């Protein structure tokens, strides 16, 4: 039975310490690198490790570089333990001791007395009791430890920070050295389709051919979801950050609506953050987490992302294994499929429907991966085998619903399709190749 939803693991200190990273990479389809935390040395080591595994095992793995975005984070500081009821001072400063330094004035422009400040994925909540142009005094409503480079959110408000931010430009300069090794660039805290288009232009100016992912993390992004979906190559529902802007009780409803909008417009969609959060400290997930993952995979999402579970948790291998196990038994009933927008879409839909009616797998040979993506967006509940000529195309397809990418160099579409079909001599196949105009061929390999 095909596994439709793909697995992404975040690389970090915990995966760096693994004696055999290959055990983890064998079970994932994508590797995320958080550019908010990775040093240039760590970036280089992680990219090289993934590509070394790929060469040795012949398995395409997508690398996602996740940018910091226009958020507010603490500056360098000594860890500050906060207990509920205590007062905490936030100051406009690049670094600090005995207070929390915030190097962005936009934070102080937004905060007003009575606002809730959320940190540590919402585990630490503070209420502003006084606010001025350069300082905020807040009372802690829960306990936690504040350290350097920690995100701060003002509940229900977005920061008016213009793109691009310095940190993202520096990250893109570092990523440019790796060229085609970076398959996706994820944009954090995006609030409009225009911002996605602007960042895509900047990504291209750096010489990167990466596809662009838009992370939906703010109220502004939810309000403009259709234009963001249209502008992006891939949409990521980042529940942890969304929960800082909405009440927790609203997140399942918002998540479902965002997935439905993406599927209706034919764009790949991922769900990220706190999928198996308890596995940072436990070798097994909770029943509620298993149910959450099962439900997300059943909706027809393209990928599910592990973040802290693998980056800094104590059980990265176990977390990946559990995510894979849950996905493998999910009964997939996608929320919907797009209406064909043109003749190419109608062709892809016909291929998908024909294969589903026959109970056959689909074999597509594609130079750019475009036809394979078109077929996948119609969510046929059969396997999709995509033969491609370039490794960079195979890696991007590795994160698309239901697609098994296979690197098969060929001088023509016809040669490529024959090679692809030869890989599956005992399977019933509906086989075709990338659309080039004119007369087109579909081959049906029927097995009684």
- What are the beta bridge partners of residue 213? 186, 234
1 lies in some domain: no
What is the percentage of the chain residues whose pLDDT exceeds 90? 88
My answer on whether 306 and 243 are in the same domain is yes
My answer on whether 179 and 200 are in the same domain is yes
For residue 316, give Cα distances in angstroms to 73, 283, 360: 26, 9, 36
Mean pLDDT of 395-401: 98
My answer on whether 425 and 299 are in the same domain is no
Please state, rounded to an integer, the average pLDDT across all residues of the chain: 95
Mean pLDDT of 199-219: 96
Q: Token pair of 108, please?
A: 């102080």
Please identify, among 296, 329, 362, the residue that sits at the C-terminal boundary of a domain. Answer: 329
336 lies in some domain: no
Please identify, among 133, 154, 175, the residue that sits at the C-terminal boundary of a domain. Answer: 154
- What are the beta bridge partners of residue 135? 91
Q: Token pair of 245, please?
A: 């802007």
337 lies in some domain: no
421 lies in some domain: yes
Mean pLDDT of 274-297: 97
Q: What is the pLDDT of residues 253-275, one digit of tens each?
A: 999 999 999 999 999 999 999 99
- Phi, psi of 373, deg, nearest 5: -65, -40
My answer on whether 290 and 249 are in the same domain is yes
335 lies in some domain: no
My answer on whether 399 and 387 are in the same domain is yes
The pTM of the full predicted model, rounded to 2 decimals, is: 0.94
338 lies in some domain: no
Range of the domain at 115: 72-154
287 lies in some domain: yes
Domain CATH code at residue 419: 3.40.1380.20
Q: What is the pLDDT of residues 337-366, one digit of tens each?
A: 999 999 999 999 999 999 999 999 999 999
Structural domain count, the chain: 3
Is the confidence at residue 128, as pLDDT, over 70?
yes
My answer on whether 92 and 24 are in the same domain is no
- Phi, psi of 238, deg, nearest 5: -95, 85
Q: What pLDDT is attached to residue 122?
A: 85
My answer on whether 56 and 184 are in the same domain is yes
Q: How far apart are CA 146 and CA 287, in angstroms?
A: 30
What is the percentage of the chain residues whose pLDDT exceeds 70? 99
Domain CATH code at residue 53: 3.20.20.60
Q: What pLDDT is attached to residue 123?
A: 87
| 8 Å CB contact between 60 and 395 | yes
My answer on whether 204 and 323 are in the same domain is yes
Q: Token pair of 74, please?
A: 């603490």
Q: How far apart are CA 172 and CA 209, in angstroms?
A: 12
85 lies in some domain: yes
| 8 Å CB contact between 192 and 72 | no
- What are the beta bridge partners of residue 139? 87, 127
Please identify, among 129, 154, 179, the residue that sits at the C-terminal boundary of a domain. Answer: 154
Q: What pLDDT is attached to residue 313?
A: 97
My answer on whether 322 and 410 are in the same domain is no
My answer on whether 280 and 307 are in the same domain is yes
- Please state, as a whole number, how many other Cβ atoms lie within 10 Å of the Cβ of residue 304: 22
CA-wise closest residue to 42 among 33, 54, 53: 33
Kindly provide the b/e burial profile for residues 79-94, where b requires at least 16 CB atoms within 10 angstroms of the residue's own CB: ebebeeeeebebbbbe
Q: What pLDDT is attached to residue 448?
A: 65
How is residue 96 annotated by DSSP? Answer: B
Q: What sign results for the dihedral spanned by CA atoms 12, 14, 20, 21?
A: negative
Q: What pLDDT is attached to residue 3?
A: 85
Q: How far apart are CA 224 and CA 326, in angstroms?
A: 32
My answer on whether 202 and 188 are in the same domain is yes
Residues 6+ apart with CB under 8 A from 201: none
Q: What is the pLDDT of residues 162-187, one digit of tens each?
A: 999 999 999 999 999 999 999 999 99
Residue 362 host element (H or E): strand 361-365
Is the confidence at residue 446, as pLDDT, over 90?
no
Q: What is the pLDDT of residues 40-53, one digit of tens each?
A: 999 999 999 999 99
Q: What pLDDT is attached to residue 445?
A: 85
My answer on whether 56 and 86 are in the same domain is no
């Amino acid at each position: 039975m095909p596994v439709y939803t793909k697995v992404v693991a975040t690389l970090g200190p915990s995966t760096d310490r693994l004696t055999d990273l290959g055990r983890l990479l064998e079970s994932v389809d994508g590797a995320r690198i958080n550019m908010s935390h990775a040093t240039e040395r760590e970036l280089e080591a992680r990219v090289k490790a993934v590509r070394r595994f790929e060469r040795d095992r012949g398995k395409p793995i997508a690398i996602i570089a996740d940018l910091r975005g226009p958020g507010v984070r603490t500056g360098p500081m000594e860890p500050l333990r906060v207990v509920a009821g205590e007062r905490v001072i936030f100051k406009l400063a690049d670094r600090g001791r005995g207070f929390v330094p915030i190097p962005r004035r936009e934070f102080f422009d937004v905060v007003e007395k009575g606002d809730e400040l959320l940190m540590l994925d919402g585990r630490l909540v503070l209420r502003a009791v006084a606010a001025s142009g350069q300082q905020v005094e807040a009372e802690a409503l829960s306990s936690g430890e504040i350290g350097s480079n920690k995100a701060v959110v003002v509940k229900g408000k977005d920061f008016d920070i213009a793109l691009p931010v310095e940190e993202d430009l520096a990250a893109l300069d570092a990523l440019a050295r790796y060229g085609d090794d970076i398959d996706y660039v994820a944009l954090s805290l995006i609030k409009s389709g225009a911002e996605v288009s602007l960042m895509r232009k900047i990504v291209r100016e750096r010489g990167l051919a990466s596809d662009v992912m838009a992370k939906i993390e703010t109220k502004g992004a939810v309000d403009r979801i259709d234009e963001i979906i249209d502008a992006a190559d891939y949409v990521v529902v980042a529940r942890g950050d969304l929960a800082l802007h909405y009440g927790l009780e609203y997140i399942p409803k918002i998540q479902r609506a965002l997935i439905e909008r993406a599927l209706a417009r034919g764009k790949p969609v991922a769900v990220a953050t706190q999928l198996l959060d308890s596995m940072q400290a436990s070798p097994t997930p909770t029943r509620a987490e298993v149910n959450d993952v099962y439900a997300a995979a059943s909706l027809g999402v393209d990928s599910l992302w592990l973040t802290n579970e693998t980056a800094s948790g104590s059980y990265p291998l176990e977390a990946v294994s559990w995510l894979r196990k849950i996905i493998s038994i999910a009964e997939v009933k996608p929320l919907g499929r797009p209406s064909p927008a043109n003749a190419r879409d109608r062709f892809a839909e016909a291929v998908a429907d024909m294969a589903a009616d026959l109970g056959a797998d689909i074999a597509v040979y594609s130079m750019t991966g475009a036809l394979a993506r078109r077929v996948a967006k119609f969510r046929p509940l059969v396997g999709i085998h995509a033969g491609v000529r370039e490794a960079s195309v195979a890696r991007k397809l590795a994160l698309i619903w239901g697609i098994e990418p296979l690197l098969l160099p060929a001088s023509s579409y016809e040669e490529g399709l024959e090679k692809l079909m030869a890989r599956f001599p005992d399977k019933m196949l509906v086989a075709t190749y990338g659309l080039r105009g004119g007369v087109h061929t579909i081959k049906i390999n029927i097995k009684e």
